[in-house]
Each structure stands twice: as C-alpha cells, then as structure tokens.
Chain A
C-alpha cells in the first residue's frame, strides 16, 4: 500500500508535470484538489487519463462514489488496490 502511494505521488508529479514539488512533498491524506495540493479541473482530467493508462482503472457502478476515490493519494491507492483485487 505504501509502495502504491509512493508510486501514485510520482505519477501525479510526472503526469501533471508539477514543478517545484517532489513526490515526497505530497501528503497521502492531503486533499488533491482545491485547498489541499491545489490541483484544478484540467489536472483532474489529466490525472484520470494517467490512472487509466497506468492502472487500467474502470468505473462502472452507478453507486460508486468516484469523487471520494479521488479525494487524496490514500483513497486513490485503496481504490486501485480494490480494483486489482477483484
């Protein structure tokens, strides 16, 4: 899990071409959007592209609260892990 979280931080910095921030500067529980890391709507779309490309994540269910999965690095890692466990 910790490894996946680290991986995700690297992915976020690389895929979104974030400057002046290193993967280890991102806190796993820090909100990714708005007040936290401050990612914007375009970043969200780019992150979606990168996650689909890297982990092949799929969301089919209507009840799945997707936005919660994208809340922070930890929730994303948990979500990816649950997908791969299936």
Chain B
C-alpha cells in the first residue's frame, strides 16, 4: 500500500475495507475520527491520554481535525494531568466513542491538516524536571516516511505491528502508530505487558516494537516457531546489551533492529544487531555530523530548526554513520581529573569478564558490574575484592588512574527504569546500606559456608625471636571480622589485626594485656583474607611496650606498638 502523509491520510483515504487495527477497517476508523472530531470541535488544546493504541490514533486525529493543539503527557499520573490541564487543555481518551453514535451522530468533514500544527511532547530533562518539546505534524509525518524508507524493505506491506511499549512517547508514537497508519499496515491496539502474551500474537512477517527493558528479560522464552517469527524486532531507548541482542535473535529468529533518536529529534538512525557493535546509519534525509566538541549534530527536515545538537558524544564512522561514545553530560570530576563515565563503562564492557556495567561517582568512582559467565565463574573463584582488582588492572591499561573505579558491586542485572534508561538514584542505592548488600554478596560468593565461623587466624608456624615471637598466620576469608567493614571488598580490618596482636602476645609471650592502650599503628598495605601473613611480636619490658608487625613476604602490611601496663614486674 502506498504511503500517505498523516496530514492528508483521512482527506485522501484508503479503501473502506483496508485494515487499520485489530479487525477495524479504514471505513470504521474514518467514521470514528469524524465523529469524535465533530464532538471535540471548539477544543483548543487536547491532552491525549488514551491507553489503547487504536483509540490513541482516533483521539490524535480527531483533535487535529477539530483544530486543536495536541499535548502528549509524559505519563497519565493524576498529578501530571492536573498540572497539564490547568491552562484549559482537555484530556481525551476514555471519552472517545465510535463515530455515528450518540446524540446527533455528527461527522466532521475531514479536510487536509495544516502540517505546521504543533504537538507538545515531554522529555526527562537533565535536572529530572520534564522538559517541553514541540514538534509539528509535518515533522511527525516526515519521520514516519523516513522510517518507511528504511523499514519498508524489511517488513512486508501488510505486516501487523505489535508492541510492548506505550504509544505516548515519540518512539512508540512513530513506530507503533504513525508509521503503520501512514503506510497502511495494521497495528495491534493493546500493548503486551508480559512476554507470555507475545508469541501467540505474532505471526510470520509481523513487526514487534519493543525496548531493552523487555529484551533483557526474555530468559525462559522458547525460540518461536517459523510461523510466529516476526520480520522485524525494533528496540529503542538505550543501547541493547550484547547478550540480550544475541538472546533476542535466538528467540525471534531475526536480529534486532535498533532505533536511535530523542524526543527532540524523533528517530534519526538505525542499526541491525547482527553481531558486535555496528555503527548507526542515519535514516534517509538525516545527516549526522560531529561538532568540534565531539557532540552529535543532526540535520533533518523532521527536526525543529532542521538541526539539533544534543548531549551525545560520537565518533564518525565511514559513509555518514556514527558510533555513540556516551553522554557529554556524564563527565565527572574525580580527584580533579575529568572522567567520562560512559567511557569507563565502555571499557569495562570490553572485558570478557563483564557483560554490562554502570559507573557513577559517590565521592569516589563506583562501578556496578554484571559479570559475564566467565566473569561470574572467576568472581566465585577469587572473591569480590580480587575480581574488582583484576578489572581495575585491565582498565589501567587504557584509562588514567582517576578513571579506575574504587568501589565495586557485582549484580545479576543493572537497575533500570522504563525503556531501560538507567536512573542514577537506583545505581547509587546499590552503594548504600553497605552491610546489607555486603552480606548478600558474600552469600553469593561463598554459597556454602559450613561449620562455625572462626574469629582468629590459623597459626601455621611459630618461631622464637630474641625479644619475642614470630607467627605464620593464615587469615581465612570467612572470618566474622570481615563482615561489613569494607563494602564490596573483603579486607582484614585494622582493629582485627590489633586484637590478634594482643591475643597472640598474651598467649605466646605470657603478657596480660587487657586492651590495646597507648596504641600507635601504621597501616601500609591492605591486608586481604585467604593469604598467609607473618606476625612478629616483640616485647620491650623496659619501654613497657609491645611492638607488632604484619608482613606478607618482605612487604610490611602494618606495624605498631601497644602499651604494656598492668603486668606483674
């Protein structure tokens, strides 16, 4: 079927029996729009709140044909709607009804629409406050036509369009609703909220509009039989992690097509995730460039002012394509150095031990890592501390020291919000309540910790010194003292080292120290568990002091002295 621009869709029309959505024909659709447009006549501003995609399409076109400006609210929360209707905008959704019904049964003559009609969208600003974005009807129809120029070759002319994402944001609106409408493809009016409902709905050659939030949760869905394999699986909102791209290809029998864009620009580029990390290709009519500061510059007729420079950092690939390097607004200062958080994340993801990663600054640089299968095995083998350290070593080959995360969390999945966009607060939360998450972590790393847990190291050897004693100690990783002291890092706390010095001085040198008083201590190196260390204890009765030194090989880990009082002379 030929594409008809949205502004002329109803004026030009399609055959009466052409399908629009779920058994609804074009004749029905036209009547529904005409009827509701007549009812909405005189409405100056409408708020599109229909949850159902078919009634969303009817509401959108009815408002436009009634001459109203359309606002697509960021969500349908009562508070949002109250704020947006304060200046007289009318919510349109649940009140839409089939055309030709009700009193009068009037219909509005559907003449071509003005492409300059503004539509208002919202995007989450960098401050967290929703930001208003205005695009015209003409831009939306240009976007839908550019979409067809690329996807029309991949999806058959009668392919049904299904979705797991709502139609109330630019991605959903274009791909699930406007692109099908202007190209004559039928679309499903209900959104799939569970994967369980998807396979039965799909048929061979259909289109699925989905997101990373969904595609990363496909686990356990059996590969679809050929009769249900879609021709096209679309994903947008955030880059799709490689393991999810592979799993999706296995389940759907087709590689995921990713869409890149923003609320300001609409869809501007696409890439086919056949394998690896291919560059993004601009949609027809879109020119991608790079500003001197490295930001993506988008030129397109469907972009306001025909050009948009956002916060995405890019490098140009050949043939006008580009690669995303991260967000310009995610530069953090760590110890006075500018660190690009996306770059640290990208470098982490390059490690074979890492499946996904998110980095943030909380005084120190913190990393949340989803280990790969290989990484998980390694994590279990060497523990969280050493695993984090080995990742640091890998990173140190390509990043300055300031870019090396100091705190680590290892999780099965990164917290994410709708459409897979990460929220800083959710990631940061992983670093709070250190004791709790640390307990959960050590459980994961040491699944079976049998028997009572010791509170003291094992004495492996004892040697006499002229003025004291030297002990070889093995510090097991499951010591009670290691719990919760250093979140994410099993480190032997200094207080434990002092306690043991006192304990062994009392047992091996016959001292009766009750508490470590007049303490002087210097910690030179971090002492990690599951290692063999040497503790030298020297007693200087004349100075009434006990000196101690923990060594690992020739390296001093810590040393100090404790006052020895209260002993019988």
Q: B residues within 8 A CB of A45?
A: 194-195, 213-214, 217
Complex contact B195–A60 (CB within 8 A): no
Q: Which of the residues B199, B221, B418 comes within 8 Å of A41, measured between beta carbons?
A: B418
Q: Which of the residues B200, B201, B214, B219 comes within 8 Å of A60, measured between beta carbons?
A: B200
- Taking each of A42, A56, A69, which has the highest tally of chain B beta carbons within 10 Å of its own beta carbon? A42
Q: B residues within 8 A CB of A46?
A: 217
B410 to chain A, nearest CB (A): 15
B44 to chain A, nearest CB (A): 32
Q: Mark A17-52, 1 if CB is under 8 A from B, else 0.
A: 000000000000000000000000110111011001
A41-B418, A42-B416, A42-B418 are contacts. A59–B197 as well, Cβ < 8 Å? yes
Q: Which of the residues A53, A56, A58, A66 comes within 8 Å of B194, measured between beta carbons?
A: A66
A56 to chain B, nearest CB (A): 8
Q: B residues within 8 A CB of A42?
A: 213, 416-418
By secondary structure, the A interface counts as: helix
Q: Which of the residues A56, A62, A66 comes within 8 Å of B196, measured between beta carbons?
A: A66
Measured CA separation A44–B220 after assembly (Å) = 14
Is B193 among interface residues, defined by CB-CB distance under 8 A? yes
Complex contact B219–A53 (CB within 8 A): yes
A41-B418, A66-B194, A67-B194 are contacts. A48–B200 as well, Cβ < 8 Å? no
Complex contact B416–A48 (CB within 8 A): no
Chain B residue at smallest Cβ distance from A40: B418
Q: Mark A47-77, 1 if CB is under 8 A from B, else 0.
A: 0110011001111111010110110000000
Complex contact A53–B220 (CB within 8 A): yes
Complex contact B199–A59 (CB within 8 A): yes
Q: B residues within 8 A CB of A62?
A: 200-201
Is B222 among interface residues, defined by CB-CB distance under 8 A? yes
B480 to chain A, nearest CB (A): 26
Chain A residue at smallest Cβ distance from B218: A49
Complex contact A49–B219 (CB within 8 A): yes
- Interface members, chain B 211-227 (any A CB < 8 Å): 213-214, 217, 219-222
Q: B residues within 8 A CB of A60?
A: 199-200
Complex contact A49–B220 (CB within 8 A): yes
Chain B residue at smallest Cβ distance from A57: B196
Measured CA separation A17–B206 after assembly (Å) = 35
Complex contact B219–A67 (CB within 8 A): no
Measured CA separation A83–B292 after assembly (Å) = 60
Measured CA separation A64–B196 after assembly (Å) = 10
Inter-chain contact count A-B, CB under 8 Å? 50
Complex contact B194–A70 (CB within 8 A): yes
Measured CA separation A48–B546 after assembly (Å) = 62
Q: A residues within 8 A CB of B416?
A: 42
Complex contact A52–B220 (CB within 8 A): yes
Q: A residues within 8 A CB of B199?
A: 59-60
A34 to chain B, nearest CB (A): 11
B76 to chain A, nearest CB (A): 12
- Taking each of B194, B201, B214, B221, which has the highest tally of chain A beta carbons within 10 Å of its own beta carbon? B194
Measured CA separation A70–B201 after assembly (Å) = 17
Q: Mark B172-213, 1 if CB is under 8 A from A, else 0.
A: 000000000000000000000111110111000000000001
Measured CA separation A39–B310 after assembly (Å) = 34
Q: A residues within 8 A CB of B220?
A: 48-49, 52-53, 56
Q: A residues within 8 A CB of B196?
A: 48, 57, 59, 66, 69-70
- Taking each of B199, B214, B217, B220, which has the highest tally of chain A beta carbons within 10 Å of its own beta carbon? B220
Complex contact A61–B200 (CB within 8 A): yes
Q: Which of the residues A52, A61, A69, A70 comes within 8 Å of B221, measured between beta carbons?
A: A52
Q: B residues within 8 A CB of A52?
A: 219-221
- Interface members, chain B 226-276 (any A CB < 8 Å): none
Complex contact B200–A59 (CB within 8 A): yes
Complex contact B194–A44 (CB within 8 A): yes
Q: B residues within 8 A CB of A44?
A: 193-194
Chain B residue at smallest Cβ distance from A60: B200
B319 to chain A, nearest CB (A): 36
Chain B residue at smallest Cβ distance from A46: B217
- Interface members, chain B 111-160 (any A CB < 8 Å): none
A47 to chain B, nearest CB (A): 8
Q: Mark B316-352, 1 if CB is under 8 A from A, else 0.
A: 0000000000000000000000000000000000000
Complex contact B214–A64 (CB within 8 A): no
Measured CA separation A56–B219 after assembly (Å) = 11
B474 to chain A, nearest CB (A): 35
List the 3 shortest-distance A-B pairs measured between CB atoms, nearest first. Answer: A52-B220, A45-B217, A62-B200
Which residues of A pack against B, CB within 8 Å?
41-42, 44-46, 48-49, 52-53, 56-62, 64, 66-67, 69-70
What are 12 A-B contacts with C-beta separation under 8 Å?
A: A41-B193, A42-B213, A42-B417, A44-B194, A45-B195, A48-B217, A59-B197, A60-B200, A62-B201, A66-B196, A67-B193, A70-B194
Q: A52-B220, A62-B200 are in contact. List 17 more A-B contacts (CB 8 A).
A: A42-B213, A42-B416, A42-B417, A45-B195, A45-B213, A46-B217, A48-B220, A49-B217, A49-B219, A52-B221, A53-B219, A53-B220, A58-B222, A59-B196, A66-B194, A67-B193, A69-B196
